[in-house]
Structure 1
Amino acid sequence: MSALAWIAVLSLAAWLWLLLGQGLFWRTDLRLPPRREPADWPFVCIVVPARDEASVLRRSLPSLLAQDYPGRAEIVFVDDGSSDGTGRLARALADRHRGLPLTVVSPGEPPTGWTGKLWAVRHGIAYARAAADRKTDPRARAAAREYDRDTYPQAPEYLLLTDADIAHEPDSLRELVAAARTGGYDLVSQMARLRVASVWEQLIVPAFVYFFAQLYPFRWVAGARTRTAAAAGGCVLLRTEAAERAGVPDTIRHAVIDDVALASAVKRGGGRIWLGLADRVDSVRPYPRLADLWQMVSRSAYAQLRHNPLLLLGTVAGIAVIYLAPPVTLVAGLALKEPVTATAGGAAWLIMTATYLPMLRYYRQTLWLAPLLPGTALLYLLMTVDSAVQHYRGRGAAWKGRTYKRPDRAEAAPDQ
């Protein structure tokens, strides 16, 4: 066989393994696990880190304020040095919509070695623990008097960590707590359905979730005997005791991919975790241009590879063989009249297309996008390479005015 034929066969073998041996990553039926309502509803503190989120807050924060939760719940909104009036808007929305009590706090600039989001989360958790019984909001004081302190302790039993661009249906918190209590999970995370409206979002967003599930098969995440751990940072219900046991967020303070780092820390600490797709939790953040999506992916892609040039080369080679080789070898095999090359390349492309269909259905997109996955994979390859280039230029992991250094250098130089 020619070298091209061997590449096609290798790609086909890789896709057969991915189809059957990678935790059925391509299936999209893993939603919240079976659950029943608990006899008593625990105290939950919702921590919302936010930096310059005024443009999305009107569509997301009211959904948290309107949570229909039978127990005690409150919101700690952490304004992380916003310059667009995010904190003021959060207070105004809370006054207008009422609902759950909300407190706006500001942690100041993160110290050396901390990412801004994790510093905000740390501040929010600390505030929730210290101020659970020292309410300043009259509505919160009135609500607190309605609960038995033996049933609802001062410190929250659970923390809901959710991003400022995430909108929740009214029963979202209730369902998350019921799932965690029923299954005995220390961490329950739902991957919010991202916005898919523009042409670029249609092309890139479903593939983003598809690739994530391929790297971290959700069924493996929930397995107690597997090392695979991941979460979706937009919606994470975390047992406070598990967070303390794992030492988070302090132990992961430098993590750019904080959701995966959080889940890994909890699982290493003996906690049970679960991750799945969401039906009633949605991101309202728009990514209308290719440049917006490019920045979203490239800011953390090289960090995902632990800033390792060898892993980068391996990733580029892997994407080329797994995603780019099938259509190339099919066309080349037909042109060169090499039946083995064409057959293996076509079969690999067919399997790739078939595994992508469930994700397109989940996102309610036309199924004709499935054969275009190799082109999207090429874009992700270029984004990953660009992430490495920006890192070596000193502009890697940049987000909203901050640039984060490699963990082993974070202690030596202040964050920008």
Structure 2
Amino acid sequence: MGPGSPAFWGRLRQMSTLAWFACASLVVWLWLLLGQGFFWRTDQRLPRPRDRRDGPHARVGREEWPGVVVVVPARDEAGVLPLSLPSLLAQDYPGRAEVILVDDGSTDGTGRLAEALAARRGGLPLTVASPGEPGPGWTGKLWALRHGMALARARGPEFLLLTDADIAHAPDSLRRLVSAALDDDRDLVSQMARLRTASPWERLVVPAFVYFFAQLYPFRWINAARPRATAAAGGCVLLRTETAVAAGVPDAIRSAVIDDVSLARAVRAAGGRIWLGLAEGVDSVRPYTGLGELWRMVTRSAYAQLRYRPSLLLGTVVGLALVYLVPPVALVAGLVAGDAAAAWAGGAAWAVMTGTYVPMLRHYRQPAWTAVLLPFTASLYLVMTVDSAVLHHRGRGGAWKGRVHPGGRTAAEGTEFTARHGE
């Protein structure tokens, strides 16, 4: 029975609506598997440093490595600072380096704790500064970065390392970042820190968070000679100082909620070359022990990712349902109802979905079998995204650590979220 035979077309006309949706989902998954920059692969990692005595960027002695200033915005981070700041102060970097921690209006003694840790642990020089309350139109983190970057530029470094207060770095982290920037002539080198996966909710939600990010912004597309996507991971960004000045950051992105992607776009617009990959030896120590904490992390920026547009929200909800929820529903309903076409297409789509998720689970050292739970996790993200929109319209969007973002709608935050997530 060939495609041109009447019997073939008759069977197609007899397919249920659920079977058609399942087939559509399968087609989408086959396209995602092969046509979305191999987003599911986890091989975009920093290369091992080359010998600095060779090549066009040869650096022989300690004094010939570029100067770096590490800028750490921190607001009420006393709980994680003892696990993160000592790792920065202990960096084994051959050149001149120092750390500036910007205490962004903390009420828990973050600044005093940082100074005490530096006095007790030693290592790189530490400066603690305070910028005061954010200026009009500024998000708190970017206001703190503005203050810290201005102090850093006065030291004349070639590079700035922008890293969050909850990020712990292996001793060679800074050396590897700088080597990668020099070896491949990159203006921005960013690593997606390995988030904590200690609690059951962290193990369920966190790997999917990174998986969805990579699906939106395939790392291979970002790192290509002719890039097709632009993004960075805000927890760990090495940036050339002259490129930051040319791009006008952070002033140019002062109201961005999704500041890392906005930063990368500003750098790209200024002609900068960008690299983004998964981290080894760069880990978030922030605990998200309950679902509520993870929920707030996602809802803070999900609607901003959709440019605060209801039409994109609707498209995203429909797309997520088609891509992630239809396959298991079609498989189960098809088996129960005896709908072979729905069961086959739904099962095949679910199998492809599961297979693409396994590499990320392995990166996070989680059991491969948990990949079958991705539809459930995706349903959580769907509800989180809707809740993010509800919070925005109630005037509580972007809330984080006691501050509510004013709700700017910057062009830099616009993404192809629906097209990438829902096709």
TM-score normalised by structure 1 residue count: 0.91
Aligned to 1:196: 197
Give the % identical residues.
71
Q: Deviations over 1:361-397 (max 9, x none)?
A: 1111111210000000000000000000000000000
What is the CA distance between 1:3 and its match in structure 2?
1.2
What is the CA distance between 1:405 and its match in structure 2?
2.1
> Pairwise mapping of residues 127-166 of structure 1 onto structure 2 (< 5 A)?
127-130=151-154, 132=155, 155-166=156-167
Quick one: which amino acid aligns to residue 81 of structure 1? Answer: G
> Pairwise mapping of residues 18-29 of structure 1 onto structure 2 (< 5 A)?
18-29=32-43
What is the CA distance between 1:225 and its match in structure 2?
2.3
Aligned to 2:319: 318
SS at match of 2:300: helix
Name which of structure 1's ranges 28-37 and 73-82 shifts more when overlaid on structure 2: 28-37
Q: Deviations over 1:301-354 (max 9, x none)?
A: 000111010000010001000000000011111122121111110000000001
TM-score normalised by structure 2 residue count: 0.90
Quick one: which amino acid aligns to residue 11 of structure 1? Answer: S
> Pairwise mapping of residues 74-223 of structure 1 onto structure 2 (< 5 A)?
74-130=98-154, 132=155, 155-223=156-224
Aligned to 2:270: 269
Name which of structure 1's ranges 60-69 and 28-37 shifts more when overlaid on structure 2: 28-37
CA distance in 1 between counterparts of 2:302 and 2:216 reads: 13
Alpha carbons 1:14, 1:322 under 8 Å: kept: yes
Quick one: which amino acid aligns to residue 311 of structure 2? Answer: L
Alpha carbons 1:23, 1:219 under 8 Å: kept: yes
Work out whether 1:30 is the aligned partner of 2:30: no
Alpha carbons 1:326, 1:346 under 8 Å: kept: yes
Segments of 5+ residues of structure 2 without an aligned counterpart are: 1-14, 53-57, 411-423
Segments of 5+ residues of structure 1 without an aligned counterpart are: 133-154, 410-416
Alpha carbons 2:304, 2:409 under 8 Å: kept: no
Alpha carbons 2:308, 2:409 under 8 Å: kept: no
Aligned to 1:355: 356
Alpha carbons 1:34, 1:182 under 8 Å: kept: no
Work out whether 1:335 is the aligned partner of 2:336: yes
Quick one: which amino acid aligns to residue 86 of structure 1? Answer: T
Aligned to 2:403: 402
Q: Deviations over 1:6-40 (max 9, x none)?
A: 10000000000000000000011110135423413
Alpha carbons 1:35, 1:183 under 8 Å: kept: no
Aligned to 1:137: none
CA distance in 1 between counterparts of 2:86 and 2:320 reads: 41
What is the CA distance between 1:408 and its match in structure 2?
4.9
CA distance in 2 between counterparts of 1:395 and 1:406 reads: 9
Aligned to 2:97: 73
CA distance in 2 between counterparts of 1:157 and 1:278 reads: 23
Alpha carbons 2:191, 2:276 under 8 Å: kept: yes
What is the CA distance between 1:222 and its match in structure 2?
1.1
Aligned to 1:150: none
Length, aligned pairs only: 386
SS at match of 1:54: coil
Quick one: which amino acid aligns to residue 27 of structure 1? Answer: R
Quick one: which amino acid aligns to residue 337 of structure 1? Answer: G
Aligned to 1:294: 295
Name which of structure 1's ranges 235-244 and 31-40 shifts more when overlaid on structure 2: 31-40
